[in-house]
Amino acid sequence: MGKYNVTIGLEMHCEVSKTASKVFSNAKNEYTDIANSNISPYDMGFPGVLPVVNKEAVRMSLMMGEILNCHPPKYMYFERKNYYYPDMPKNYQITQNPPEECAGMGGYIDIEREDGSTFRVDIDNIHLEEDSARMTHLYDTSIIDYNRAAVPLLELVTGPCLHSAEDAVAFLEYIRAIYQYCGISEADSKKGQVRCDVNISISEDDTLGTKVEMKNVNSFSGVHDAIVYEVKRQSELKDAGRYDEVEQETRRWDEETGTTIRMRSKVDAIDYKYFVEPNIPKFKITEEWLEKIRKSIPELPYERKAKYMTNYSLSAYDAGILIKDINIASYFENCINLGCDPKIVANWITGNILGYVYKNDIEIQNLFVTPERLTIILSSMAKGDISSKQAKELFSMVLEREEEPKEIMKKEGMQQISDDTTITSVIIEVLDENKEQITDYKNGKTNMFDYFVGQVMKKTRGQANPVKVKEILTNELANR
């Protein structure tokens, strides 16, 4: 990323959204826009409340530790992290305090880049804790929604081992995919389920420079842009001989200005007065339970990518796009199960479908063109009922009108012309109208062939079978 060595460490926070209840309370663990509706006395920090550990949340945290090649704990217990803030009504958070025993310690994971190369990310730890409530700061007041309070939260901490914004995002995207594939979380940044703290330093050698932390970056594009900006800011100060102005501090990423803004100094570590949570007894993690968890790990994204490349002969690029999000992978597999050609449907998903999805900022599972409707479009094209051009037009019409493909085909009279006699008559008409161009073609201007094809397609409004057109056109030109 420039002439200096860049070192990046990440802290990725992901809500465990797939448990029925919260991590230490019996309140429903469900995303809702109705504020303060999924709460319990524990979430509100009422006097006398006691935590009860959610076993399923513990199981999911141990599963992530196994996937990340971490050392599992022999015993698990929790600690209190004491601090006052309005979004933490008990005035403490129940968490785990690495390097003490937590869900997973000292692991690693290998990540693939788009060019096929790989890099290893060192995992310092992954631990389970409760999330805080959500605060919204308005012009002259702040409001709090306690729905998020005590939602199970997994915090994954890497070592200082990443060296570019692109690698950082590739790592985050893959971990998000793992959360989705394992049924641990939707990992939806739009719902605030994923957020990251980014630590960055630069130096002229392999030593670490002054570490700057960027807190609570809420999107992966934000992580990328924040890293690029912060590296540029620190590099410019170093170039100007003012590197001493780079402080160990916490900054925030401001999307509107595209800059990082100072929040507070971080020279002295905050003393959170950690101590063991007295209301949750230490419990043993048995080898039998860990083995059961290992066997329950589903097919992971890279395993599915390899399957797509081997079984369906997809390129590494296309397979990589399909596995990034489990909803996209599921859409693809549903189409395969309905009889679609894997390569053709992969091209449609990576092109037309995702192009529309990203442009309109919707989720693929909410797309009106379901796998069933796409299958009708593609099978009609495969049978020769409609041309590839008509298939794209039909796709757009289905989305625009939200009507069934067959109904639109009937209304619009969409049918590919494959009759030799009809196509021949149109070709003869085109050639009779373009005698000068025929002479040019005969004299070596072979690109005129495409011109003739275009004229035929124009006269048939794109309905002529292009393969038949080229075949008959070749014969007609040879006879002139």
Q: How would you write the pLDDT of the chain (480 residues) with one tens digit per residue? A: 578 999 999 999 999 999 999 999 999 999 999 999 999 999 999 999 999 999 999 999 999 999 999 999 999 999 999 998 889 999 999 999 887 789 999 999 999 998 989 999 999 999 999 999 999 988 889 999 999 999 999 999 999 999 999 999 999 999 999 999 999 999 998 899 999 999 999 999 888 999 999 998 999 999 999 999 999 999 999 999 999 999 999 999 999 999 999 988 865 667 889 999 999 999 999 999 999 999 999 999 999 999 999 999 999 999 999 999 999 999 999 999 999 999 999 999 999 999 999 999 999 999 999 999 999 999 999 988 888 888 999 999 999 999 999 999 888 877 777 778 888 988 889 898 998 888 888 888 888 899 989 998 888 877 788 888 898 988 888 887
Q: In what order do the strands lie in the sheet with 275-276?
A: 92-95, 79-82, 275-276
**Alpha-helical runs (H) found in 240-353:** 287-295, 301-312, 316-323, 326-337, 342-348
Which amino acid, 474?
T
Would you put residue 462 in left (φ > 0), alpha (ψ -120 to 50) or beta?
left
Question: What predicted TM-score, i.e. pTM, was given to this entire model?
Answer: 0.86
Q: Where are the domains of the chain?
A: 5-291, 420-478
Nearest CA among 317, 162, 182, 308 for reference residue 172:
162
SS (H, E, C) 230-268: HHHHHHHHHHCCCHHHCCCEEEEEECCCCEEEEEEECCC
Residue 114 has a CB neighbour count (10 Å cut-off) of 11
Q: How far is CA 103 from CA 58, 60, 106, in A?
A: 8, 9, 11
pLDDT at 269: 62
Among the listed residues 196, 218, 150, the one whose alpha carbon sits nearest the alpha carbon of residue 13 = 196
β pairing state of 79-82 and 212-217: unpaired
What's the pLDDT score for residue 104?
Answer: 96
Residues 194, 185: Cα–Cα separation, whole Å: 10
Q: Which residues have a Cβ under 8 Å from the Cβ of 425 and sit 6 or more positions away?
A: none
Residue 164 has phi, psi (to 5 degrees) of -155, 155
Residue 422 pLDDT? 87
Give the CATH fold of the 420-478 domain: Arc Repressor Mutant, subunit A (1.10.10)
pLDDT for position 271: 82
103 DSSP 8-state letter:
S
Give the three-class secondary structure for 273: coil
Task: Output the pLDDT for position 268.
Answer: 60
DSSP state of 275: E
- Compute the radius of gyration of the chain from its Cα atoms: 29
- Spell out the residues 6+ positions from residue 101 whose beta carbon is closer than 8 angstroms to its own: 73, 74, 75, 76, 77
- What is the Cα–Cα distance from 177 to 318, expressed in whole angstroms? 16
How many residues can be counted in the chain? 480
The pLDDT score that the predictor gives to residue 389 is: 85
The closest alpha carbon to 308, from 339, 278, 336, 283, belongs to 336
